[in-house]
Chain A
Amino acid sequence: MTNPNPEHLLDRAERLIASARGAPRQVDLRRAISDAYYALFHAASAAVADEFVGTSKQSSPLYGLVYRRIEHRPLRQLCEDISRRMIPSKYLPYFPQRGPGGGVLEFAAAVADLQPKRHAADYDPALRVSVSDARLAIDTARRAVSEFHTQRRWRQEFLTLLLFPPR
């Protein structure tokens, strides 16, 4: 099993901004922002596959199929809805009216913030990424991944809605 380890993505981001000679280059700072977001994305992808296929089947084609089912836009939309405490009525049978709390809420807030930043870091030529911003994006993602893994309340509902959006 060789799916990207979120912690390793964050470790790489740390190395990129810890330039030994002078200020880090913009390409490294942009890549660090991107790594911070992708740590969250792969944490969500792995969590979905673990939940619905199982950790014992990580080398199976089925696991890979489910892992790759998560898409950026639905992930952002669900996370924005949760983090802004604006739970659409289609989610209400599965979440309390004010939305979930704990690790899922922290994770959602981090995704809603980091996904547009990652898009700007990858595609906006006018963006100038500061070292401070890259540093704090990594810290944000590290905390979000940790809480997502340890505080499991509402996680099953979150992962189910991510994979099976209500119609």
Chain B
Amino acid sequence: MLDYAKSGEIAFRVARKTLGKENVVRVFTEPMFDAEGNDALRVNIVIQPDMLDHVDGKALIQTLMKLNKNLREAGEDRQSVVFYATEEELATSDEPEP
């Protein structure tokens, strides 16, 4: 299991390469659990708002595959699960729904 700074650094490098460096603002990782309660690694990729218009499904799946490969090679044994949000979406994530 990698520390979160290291896994975040690896994920940031992968995401910039597969999604385009202009589209990826930052990446941070944190623990989560899967449906059976197993440890998993939540990878939060903070994106530029206009990335949605520029990235296709092929690049998204390449990101998943390279993340799995590079994190495993670095010693991470947990399954990674990727979440995307813009800075604005993150900033309003604690606000109640109207």
**Does B associate with A?**
yes
- How many of B's residues come within 8 Å of A, CB to CB? 34
Is residue B10 contacting chain A, with contact meaning CB distance below 8 A?
Answer: no
Residue of B nearest to A117 (CB): B81
Cross-chain contact B52 with A144 (CB below 8 angstroms): no
Asked whether A83 lies within 8 Å of B93 as measured between CB atoms, the reply is no
Q: Which of A83, A85, A132, A143 contacts B57 (CB 8 A)?
A: A143
Query: In terms of DSSP, what is the predominant structure of the interface of chain B?
Result: mixed
Complex: chain A residue closest to B65, CB-CB: A109
How many A-B pairs have beta carbons closer than 8 Å: the answer is: 93
A-B contact pairs, 10 of them (CB 8 A): A83-B68, A86-B72, A109-B61, A109-B64, A112-B79, A119-B34, A119-B35, A136-B84, A139-B60, A143-B57
Q: How large is the interface on A (under 10, 10 to 19, 20 to 34, 35 or more residues)?
A: 35 or more
Residue B83 at the chain A interface, CB threshold 8 Å: yes
Residues of B within 8 A of A11 (CB): none
Beyond A109-B65, A132-B89, is A85–B72 a contact (Cβ under 8 Å)? yes
* CB-CB nearest in chain B for A107: B61
Verify if A22 is at the interface (C-beta below 8 Å from B).
Answer: yes
Chain B residues lying within 8 Å of A131, measured Cβ to Cβ, are: 89
